[in-house]
Structure 1
Amino acid sequence: MSDKQQRINSGFDNRSTAAEVLDGIDLTGKTAVVTGGYSGIGLETTRALAGAGATVIVPARRPDHAAKHLDGIERTEVDELDLADLDSVRDFAERRLADGRRIDLLVNNAGIMACPETRTDRGWELQFATNHLGHYALVNRLLPVLEGARVVMTSSGGHGNSPIRWDDPHFERGYDRWKAYGQSKTANILFAVELDRLAASAGVRAFALHPGAILTPLQRHIPVEEQREMGWMDEEGNPPDYFKTTEQGAATQTWAATSPQLEGMGGLYLEDCEVAEVSEEGSGVRPYAIDPVAAQRLWAFSAELTGVNAFA
């Protein structure tokens, strides 16, 4: 698998914006779904896709709240979805199937980071449940309307914090919020690897990505003082130079969803609008996150937990 992780010299970089990667691309007549598409880099992704002509459906746990943030952006629709609630995922998917529109672009952008220890009503650790299992169930239930689609998983360089903890995936023997986040982001990458293997014959190609470091509402659970200690902002709240704007942070997932440069490819991890290389540290993708055996194991585990598997 790692031999596929080779740069393609896209011509874009870490300062490219979502609007720039869409320059010259006409999405008229296309339908996109962007989870979390009303906040942070999700909002900028929605804005860019709609600006290129796509109709963008934005699922949100609080639809009224999302609608306020999307006010004034043409070709956007809001629907209800709570990724931590599998019944809500099923209901959203059933509405999409009943609607009958093909989904051309599915950007699974929503997520939570480093939250206090929280469990769903099924006892699942919330970051794993929201960031991975909810999106896993969503994609599987939407598969009938995804033929020929691009599926994009917004992962993170934080996947380097943890592989899948097969012996304790729900942190029942001691919670570490950063390892829990890292595990959920590793799961996003492994999911893209296995989805691409299973669905490529139907024209569905999957990608995962690191959007970069950006100050957005994703940091809501991290105290400001802690963010300063980590070097994420100075005393005035300004981020360091290597941080991206939200427009730049949205670029890689927008590129993944739309770029003709990625035609015929899939199962790849991207960063800075480029295919990332395999690395044991720093930037790039960890070998354990693209391991095809681990990807198949995670798929089976996720199917067992959720009771959903479109390929069974």
Structure 2
Amino acid sequence: MIHRLHEDTPQQPIGSGWGHDTEAAEVLDGVDLAGCDAIVTGGYSGLGLETVRALADAGARVVVPARRPAHARTVLAEAGLGSVEVRAMDLGDQQSVKAFARGYVDSGRSLDILVNNAAIMACPETRVGPGWEAQFATNHLGHFTLTNGLWPALADGGARVVSLSSTGHKRSGIHFDDPQFTHGYDKWEAYGQAKTANSLFAVELDRLGRDHGVRAFAVNPGGIMTGLQRHLAREEMVAAGWMDESGTLRQGFKTPKQGAATSVWAATSAELDGKGGVYCEDCDIARPTDPESPLARFVGVDAHAVDSESARKLWELSAKLTRVNALG
């Protein structure tokens, strides 16, 4: 079946041939990204670093926005990626995000790939900006403003936008009545809301952007032990079944190179030409969650995370909060 730009893409696997253990470099083996421009948030640690490595090794020019630019440059240089450009940006600071986007657009460059990778997880209650809950503000609203600010460059390049979600989306839909958790904070509910927001953002961005050649995908990278877990004590991770008492990870966890593979696949694969607005995992489009499956907590996408009406409602809320809406 040929998917024209105006058609919705089915939330069903396409048989990519890749899988759980595929690494990012495998996805890009033989792919030439010379002349392509990419931005990867959080591109100097964990999944982001491996995403940057894979894209840069394939020839892409990569920019990494960083809250601590000097630290990012040091990490990238030590990783053999000293040619990657680093520019200052704090996702939790809307003015910082707008300044980065404005600077990029003003440079006259187009943008072929935007990977909204950076995130915080299960942090103690923290407020940023005008009192926004930090996980929603950083993981979603920061990337919402960034993508809208970069819109002229994205549309010029007919870009792909990859939004990092996770199985955390299964913990919570959007709390439209209280998205900032002003009436009681739960760190996992807040994380779940943010990850659902990342998926819904891709759904609505794809709907709004497809006529401009911009396609968007939500990605579940899988379970990977990175700096994302910095707010969690080992005891909590043991209780969750992520590791045993000795710190050995449970079967099914991925390496960072494996975790970056789905992001890279969504950003570059020719198999996805003319497609978008779907949630991907293990280098393929994911199936809808089977609630009867014993793996329902870990596999597939829940309906609330790809619901088109919720996606439009979230976009409207985000535009109101940030006062940014390049596609409105």
Report the TM-score, using the length of structure 1 for normalisation: 0.98
Q: 2:44 aligns with which of 38, 42, 45?
A: 38
Q: 1:127 aligns with which of 125, 135, 144?
A: 135
Determine the C-alpha separation between the residues in 2 that align with 1:212 and 1:197.
25
**Equivalent residue for 1:137?**
145
1:154-165 counterparts in 2 under 5 A?
A: 154-165=164-175
Q: 1:211 aligns with which of 217, 221, 243?
A: 221
User: Residue 146 of structure 1 aligns to a residue in which SS?
Assistant: helix
User: Residue 138 of structure 2 aligns to a residue in which SS?
Assistant: helix
1:183-202 counterparts in 2 under 5 A?
A: 183-202=193-212
Identity, % of aligned pairs? 58
The CA RMSD over aligned residues, in Å, is 1.2
Deviation at 1:236, TM superposition (A): 2.8
Query: Structure 2 unaligned runs (5+)?
Result: 1-6
Q: Deviations over 1:3-59 (max 9, x none)?
A: 710110000000000000111110011111000000001000000000000011000
Deviation at 1:2, TM superposition (A): 9.2
1:17 aligns with 2:23: yes
Query: Structure 1 unaligned runs (5+)?
Result: none
Q: 2:114 aligns with which of 81, 99, 106?
A: 106
User: Residue 285 of structure 1 aligns to a residue in which SS?
Assistant: coil
Determine the C-alpha separation between the residues in 2 that align with 1:183 and 1:230.
19
1:51 aligns with 2:51: no
Deviation at 1:226, TM superposition (A): 1.0
Aligned AA (1:211): P
Deviation at 1:74, TM superposition (A): 5.0
**Equivalent residue for 2:316?**
300
Deviation at 1:241, TM superposition (A): 2.0
Deviation at 1:225, TM superposition (A): 1.5
Q: Deviations over 1:217-272 (max 9, x none)?
A: 00000011111221222233221221000100100001000111111100010000
Contact 1:66 / 1:78 at 8 angstroms: preserved in 2? Answer: yes
Contact 1:102 / 1:146 at 8 angstroms: preserved in 2? Answer: yes
Determine the C-alpha separation between the residues in 2 that align with 1:211 and 1:144.
28
Aligned AA (1:12): W
Contact 2:73 / 2:82 at 8 angstroms: preserved in 1? Answer: no
Contact 1:101 / 1:145 at 8 angstroms: preserved in 2? Answer: yes
1:85 aligns with 2:93: yes
Contact 1:50 / 1:74 at 8 angstroms: preserved in 2? Answer: no
Contact 2:202 / 2:278 at 8 angstroms: preserved in 1? Answer: yes
Contact 1:28 / 1:52 at 8 angstroms: preserved in 2? Answer: yes
Determine the C-alpha separation between the residues in 1 that align with 2:126 and 2:275.
37
Report the TM-score, using the length of structure 2 for normalisation: 0.93
Contact 2:8 / 2:276 at 8 angstroms: preserved in 1? Answer: no
Determine the C-alpha separation between the residues in 1 that align with 2:9 and 2:203.
13
1:309 aligns with 2:309: no
Q: Deviations over 1:141-188 (max 9, x none)?
A: 100000200000000011000000111111111100001000000001
Q: Deviations over 1:92-123 (max 9, x none)?
A: 01110111111100000000000000011301
1:227-306 counterparts in 2 under 5 A?
A: 227-279=237-289, 280=291, 281-282=296-297, 283-306=299-322
Contact 1:4 / 1:268 at 8 angstroms: preserved in 2? Answer: yes
Determine the C-alpha separation between the residues in 1 that align with 2:111 and 2:233.
38
Determine the C-alpha separation between the residues in 1 that align with 2:251 and 2:306.
30
Q: Deviations over 1:261-294 (max 9, x none)?
A: 1111000100000100111433111111111111
Distance 1:144 1:3, change over 3 A: closer
